[in-house]
A and B are shown apart, each in its own frame.
Chain A
Amino acid sequence: MKDLIMYIAQALVDNPEAVKVNEIEGEQTSVIELKVAKEDLGKVIGKQGRTARAMRTILSAASTKVRKRSVLEILE
């Protein structure tokens, strides 16, 4: 899941080297924290949060396979 978000974020932003993804694993849920350069924040959130929503949708589709929920947090 971490790799998936890393791939998407790096492909969307102008500063791929500034992308950091951290996965905090819980028992049923893991939280994926995404951090990007300040000027790229809009790129991973999108108009009215559309990009963030699309990432979350794909994350939850991928999570149904492994039976573990993943939550995406975008850090400022």
Chain B
Amino acid sequence: MDFIEFTGKDTEEALQQAAKHFDMPLDRLEIEVVQSGSNGIFGIGSRKAKVLARPAGPSAQEEVAEVLAVVSGKAPQPAPAAEPEPEPEPAAAPPAATETDDRPDPRAPRPPEPPSPELMESARQCLGRLLQAMEPEATVEASIGERGIELEIIGGETGIIIGRRGQTLEALQYLVTRIVSHEAGRAIRISVDTGGYRQRRFESLADLALRMGSKARETGRPVAVGPLNSQERRVVHMALRDQHDLSTVSRGRSDLKKVVITPR
């Protein structure tokens, strides 16, 4: 049984989520605290607590079963259906063999693309140039992080830079990505943020995904979230990727689509 990720304001809340999800006391769960929460300063830089949890019982047997499967030359996934579970929980069902089409596979390695300092600098200048007509007093700081080249807009009127539902920030990120990728002759990942807006949006989106997931599970009906852009959809898919009793599929034809969460 895979670990499932739970988040909360603090570790305590995340643990309660886990206990509630599995309907088990905490001492029967295997817990790993990924990140303890922090409030940050004025909400900037605040982090959610994140824990991984799974029922403590069957995992050992499952691992043995996986090892046996590997030894006998069979694929280790999906786990045998006749797995003895301590409680018949739908969440404990083995993962389905077929993944939905645009659902990101977290195990697939990203193509290696270490952006050079020169590219980072040209991304920084490009964004600065785009902001000139809009917010001349804004400045740009650049770094290289897990989201590729990360650009942070400092100063200026935040409301104008972000735009309605984040669309100006989105347009800036899209154009900078386009321009720098064109210059480099290959796809470069660039993320543009200001005042932690994107971070906050992603976190609240992941929370929403989990809530809508519970709703779908409780009502037994599909629940739609959105319309969202591709990055936002990814957050929803990822937030629910380990909840094997739920499937997530993007619906729609423009670059804004809804994500439909369906109980299996």
**Which positions in A face B, CB cutoff 8 Å?**
1, 3-4, 7-8, 11-12, 43, 46-48, 50-51, 53-55, 57-58, 61-62, 64-65
Contact = CB atoms under 8 A, between A and B. Distances in A.
Given A3-B133, A4-B130, A4-B133, A53 B171 contact: yes
Given A7-B129, A11-B182, A61-B163, A55 B255 contact: no
9 contacts: A4-B133, A7-B129, A7-B130, A8-B175, A51-B174, A51-B178, A61-B163, A62-B134, A64-B160
A11 B179 contact: yes
Main SS of chain B's interface residues?
A: helix
Contacts of A47: 255
Contacts of A57: 163, 167-168, 170-171
A58 B134 contact: yes
Contacts of A65: 133-135, 160
A39 to B, nearest CB: 14
Contacts of B171: 53-55, 57-58, 61
A73 B161 CA distance: 23
Given A11-B126, A12-B182, A64-B160, A55 B175 contact: yes
Given A12-B179, A48-B255, A54-B171, A1 B163 contact: no
Contacts of B163: 57, 61
Given A54-B175, A57-B163, A61-B163, A8 B130 contact: yes
A8 B133 CA distance: 12
A47 to B, nearest CB: 8
A3 B136 CA distance: 14
Interface in B79-114: none
B63 interface: no
B183 interface: yes
Interface of B: 126, 129-130, 132-135, 160-161, 163, 167-168, 170-172, 174-175, 178-179, 182-183, 254-255
Contacts of B161: 61
A65 B131 CA distance: 12
B133 A54 contact: no
Contact of B175 (A3, A48, A51): A51
Contacts of A11: 126, 179, 182-183
Contacts of B132: 4
A46 B170 CA distance: 15
A45 B168 CA distance: 17
A55 B175 CA distance: 8
Contact of B174 (A4, A54, A61, A64): A54
B133 A50 contact: no
A1 to B, nearest CB: 6
A50 B178 CA distance: 11
